[in-house]
Amino acid sequence: MTYVISDPCIGTIDKSCVEVCPVDCIHFEEGVDRKLYIDPDQCIDCGACEPVCPVTAIFTEDDEPDGQKEYTEIDALWFKDKDAARARVNELNPV
């Protein structure tokens, strides 16, 4: 199981979670991305990121709220095809 960053992060991009992650699995491109992304292949499920998120955007993939479950796929997609992941975020949350 991995952690996922969902909808409330969009537009916030608070890096508190990046600072506490012991394996550096949370990424984004400054000035390009609207949210942060957790690499499911690197996440060790430690949970350090969840309590420091100021907008309560981080969940385990099993606990992701209804209406947010697509972010599990989007986070994983970002590490394979950043443009496709960004397009999906924009579809769900137009600027």
Tens of pLDDT along the chain (95 residues)? 799 999 999 999 999 999 999 999 999 999 999 999 999 999 999 999 999 999 999 999 999 999 899 999 999 999 999 999 999 999 999 98
What CATH number does the domain containing 59 carry? 3.30.70.20
Domain enclosing residue 49, as ranges: 3-89
Q: How far apart are CA 41 and CA 66, in angstroms?
A: 23
Return d(Cα 54, Cα 80) in angstroms, integer: 27
Give the total number of structural domains in the chain: 1
The span from the CA of 48 to the CA of 60, in Å, is: 12
> Is residue 83, in this structure, part of any structural domain at all?
yes
Q: Which 3 state secondary structure label does DSSP give 2? A: coil
Q: Please state the pTM of the whole predicted model.
A: 0.95
**CB-CB contact of 6 with 64 (8 Å):** yes
Burial of 41 (C-beta count, 10 Å sphere; 0-12/13-18/19+):
exposed
